[in-house]
Structure 1
């Protein structure tokens, strides 16, 4: 089959449509979680804790999500996660007491973990290697577009229905994401390619064991999280550290822009405009970033991503007006934008098959740990020293991340058609040829 026969357009709607809608669902509720918690009697501190429950839910569900994805396959994991998210948001909209609302927010985080794992695993299997970074960068970019659009989609409903309207928008978007996920093509696994628990060829209810396709018809035990952790421990200890640092810097950057804006006396309107423009830059460059990764290699995007964000963070404490903050915020947005999909792409590159869902579950656990640790470090250093010192510490994390990625991300572009476990630890995509187009 010629390389040109694969086109991302053939799976664009089923692969990216649910992600766009799921991002819109989560984006719709993010601005109002704290407000709802306060309306239900939470203090400011407790309201802030409720916001973190999405991250905690995701963190604690990453490894269990591998069981669900392995048992039912990626398609049905997407459907289940989207339905769970919709139910959680409906619960949040109707919750009469704080504890039930907090549980609903936690459930949203749980759903996000399963949905994120399944969509990454699906695209990794469905897209040939030469297209992988573009596909996963597009996946990350589409999700960001959805999150960005979510508050605007909810705003009109909130005007008529109050803050509960945001959750109904989220519930509807998640339900639609589930419906479109039903149209996701089943993964077709050819002979000679082993996958763990794709539902016996991709359908729901398949066995947990993987038929390795060795020609003997032997049934091999399905990999477990423990076995994958043991066999790929070196990757998690080395490159995994770089992934954790990427996530820490990304999470911290979302907090430092509004905090520094307030510190230098900008009003909320100016702050929102600067934050929005930074996010816009972030969203506009995801596809060129993916194309660069496919053409030149992962390192030539991963390292500049961290260096540019570190530079922007390092310069931020030197700004004293809206113009200066806007410029460094745009720089940070650009750095984060060129890294769109880098965590997913590296995870896909190193993930084994069989054992991909288990590997990616651990990979996401590392990323979520960084997401929680970054703002915690910012808060701790700010409390002990100053906001400038906290932002500076985040910049140092960016530099350390750049060093880690330079050290452990393979140089050069992936070698198409190589055997699994060499160089990047990848194997060919199962539905398309593993070589670049002519």
Structure 2
């Protein structure tokens, strides 16, 4: 832990804490919209192109546990610099790819690097920021990354006009190179250095045994939140197409939802720090779930826009909630390994949610698929109400 909360300000560490995440987010956001198009450009089938896009998330999922080991061994700063370098190699493969398999490998590497970078960033912030400011730090970290990913496609669009699809990868290359260079200026915290130098670290198996209860309760609840969030990005364009909206209207709705998503992350973090995590976790999830429940009732642009904005508001106030609860639950010894397991559980929800939506849509209809996904939100809300500590300005989850 760092200095006294009364003397501490997030502004003092803003560049070191959030600058690399903003730049890495810009890099990720720049390539997300063009990966499928790049895959088609090098001869991939539609199905193969979809799989290559999925490798971004799959890479992050499989790398969470190794990311914890790397961060524990080498420290947060070296892990971030290494992740940036690894991502640059992946981007180079994407730029040079003339066959789908080379592009797939590059995309997988970028996804894996993202897991290492984000885990190291979260661990560094937990150690650097006093507990009474933790939620604000986590919410800001999540919000800054969203801002980067929101801005990335717009920056990439300018260069795509000049360089074609490769322009997006050049934007990502410059942004992630800058993130790596900025990470070089981030010092390893004394507490982190001491933990690596002294004391026996518990193994992953020991950690899972010691913290099984919190992982199987709040961990699964956060996994359901990730599923809800992943599905919301798919539901908007699918339902817009279902009710006959054109691509321009759909893009406008999606963009406005994303804009609202980024507005309230810091005030929400302040509420969590002052009133407790449940004061934000519960409203955020219920707003998202309620919006999805009502979405099949929308019939035109105005009604879908209204519900999408409310959906973005619900997701926006919950920025950083998964990281904050994970940070609260993490032990001092073995923290990075615990967070690797925590992120793996959360990412599993993000990956399986869209599959559930797809399966129910195929068996019944899109409307029933959306309603079924909304019930995941209500289940997550109940789990938070049941197991998330309440009534304290600062919450430390105990296993």
Q: Per the alignment, in what secondary structure is the counterpart of residue 412 of structure 1?
A: coil
Deviation at 1:176, TM superposition (A): 0.4
| Contact 1:87–1:171 (Cα < 8 Å) also in 2 | no
Measure, in 2, the Cα distance between the counterparts of 1:40 and 1:355. 43
Corresponding position of 1:127? 129
Encode CA deviations 1:123-164: one digit per residue, 9 max, x unaligned: 011000000000110000000000000011111111111101
CA distance in 2, matches of 1:104, 1:127: 34
SS of residue in 1 equivalent to 2:146: helix
Specify the alignment match of 1:290 in structure 2: 269
Structure with more helix by fraction: 2
Return the alpha-carbon distance in structure 1 between the equivalents of residues 107 and 26 of structure 2. Answer: 16
Q: Is the 8 A contact 2:273 2:394 kept in 1?
A: no
Contact 1:34-1:48 within 8 A present in 2 as well = yes
1:139 maps to 141
Q: Note if contact 1:23-1:147 (Cα within 8 Å) is conserved in structure 2.
A: yes
Could you say what the CA RMSD is over the residues aligned between the two structures, in angstroms? 1.3
- Write the distance in 2 (CA, Å) between the matches of 1:328 and 1:295: 29
Superimposed CA distance per residue, residues 138-194 of structure 1 (whole angstroms, 9 cap, x where no aligned partner) = 0000000000000111111111111011011101110100000011132122xxxxx
**How far apart, CA to CA, are the structure 1 residues paired with 2:69 and 2:15?**
26
1:238 aligned partner: 217
Deviation at 1:201, TM superposition (A): 3.4
The residue that corresponds to 1:88 in the other structure is: 90
Q: Distance in 2 between matches of 1:286 and 1:363?
A: 21
Alignment of 1:25-40 (within 5 A): 25-40=27-42
SS at match of 2:190: coil
Partner-residue secondary structure (3-state), 2:6: helix
**1:163 equivalent in alignment to 2:162:** no
1:413 paired with 2:386, answer no
Q: Are 1:293 and 1:413, in contact at CA under 8 Å, matched by a contact in 2?
A: no
Equivalent residues of 1:93, 1:165 under 8 A apart: no
The reply to whether residue 339 of structure 1 matches residue 318 of structure 2 is: yes
1:348 equivalenced with 2:341 (yes/no): no
Among 194, 197, 201, the residue aligned to 2:194: 201
For residue 223 of structure 1, report the CA deviation from its aligned partner.
Answer: 1.7
Q: Check conservation: 2:5, 2:133, Cα contact below 8 A.
A: no
What is the distance in 1 between the residues matched to 2:324 and 2:66?
Answer: 22
Aligned partners of 2:125 and 2:66: how far apart in 1? Answer: 20
Q: How do residues 213-232 of structure 1 correspond to structure 2 at under 5 angstroms?
A: 220-232=199-211
Cα contact 1:50–1:105 (8 A) shared by 2? yes
Tell me, yes or no, if the aligned pair for 2:4 and 2:130 is still in contact at 8 Å. no
- Deviation per CA, 1:42-99, whole angstroms, max 9, x where unpaired? 1111111111001111111111111100000111111111111122112101111110
Match of 1:19 among 18, 21, 25: 21
Report the Cα distance in structure 1 between the residues aligned to 2:56 and 2:394, rounded to whole angstroms: 38
Q: Distance in 1 between matches of 2:29 and 2:5?
A: 37
After TM superposition, the score normalised by the length of structure 1 is 0.89
Deviations 1:295-343 (A, max 9, x none): 1100111111110000100010000000000011011100000100000
- The offset of 1:414, in angstroms, is 4.7
What does residue range 16-415 of structure 1 map to in structure 2 within 5 Å?
16-189=18-191, 198=192, 200-201=193-194, 207=197, 211=198, 220-415=199-394
Counterpart in 2 of 1:432? none
How far apart are residue 415 of structure 1 and its match?
Answer: 4.7
C-alpha contact (below 8 Å) 1:63/1:358 kept by paired residues: yes
Separation (CA, whole Å) in 2 of partners of 1:384 and 1:294: 43
**Structure 1: distance between partners of 2:302 and 2:17:** 39
TM-score, normalisation: structure 2 = 0.97
